[in-house]
Amino acid sequence: MAFRGIRVIGDPVLRTPCEEITRIDDRVRALVADLVETVDAEGRAGLAANQIGVSLRAFSWNLDGEVGYVLNPRLVKVSEGIQDGDEGCLSVPGLWFPTRRATYAKVEGIDLDGAAVTVEGEGLMARCLQHEVDHLDGRLYLDRLDRDVRKGAMRQVRELM
């Protein structure tokens, strides 16, 4: 296990859709251990594999005292209800912007034994699930911002780079 550094906006791995995990081997087990250790730090809610430079479909979360992971997650259900709150990202450090997300989300995937896993939740968990699946699809939360907010956000991002 290792605490891994976070890739930040501008790194191409963040804009590349991640590959499905086809074989659970020692490399994947080590990835999960690193994801879980790296997300288990104060102020961290979720972490996608590409945020630590690995282009595989896996993410971890750390919410309300629960740390977990899912491999090959697919967002299978979201509510029609919308939450609109500030969202941030470890890969866009120090910046928070109002981001619309569904109030409920459900993800299906597998665990390290290949068993089916369902992770679902409302509020912050729903936001986390949607945010991390976006990462694995090569998207950042900035892509979801309203046009005017996004313009200002990108200006701030350029100033940080």
Question: Does residue 132 have an active-site annotation?
Answer: yes
Strand 58-63, strand 92-102: pairing: unpaired
Residue 78 has phi, psi (to 5 degrees) of -135, 155
Place of tokens 């971890």: 60
* Other Cβ atoms closer than 10 A to 142: 20
Was 27 annotated as part of a binding site? Answer: no
Was 89 annotated as part of a binding site? Answer: yes
CA distances from 35 to 49, 50, 68, 87 (A): 7, 10, 9, 20
Q: Which two structure tokens, joined as six digits, stand for 145?
A: 């911002």
Catalytic hit among 42, 120, 132, 159: 132
Q: Residue 97, by phi and psi: left (phi above 0), alpha (psi -120 to 50) or beta? A: beta
* Biggest alpha carbon–alpha carbon distance for the chain: 45
Binding-site residue set:
89, 131, 135
What amino acid positions are annotated as catalytic residues? Answer: 132
Annotation: binding site for Fe cation: 89, 131, 135
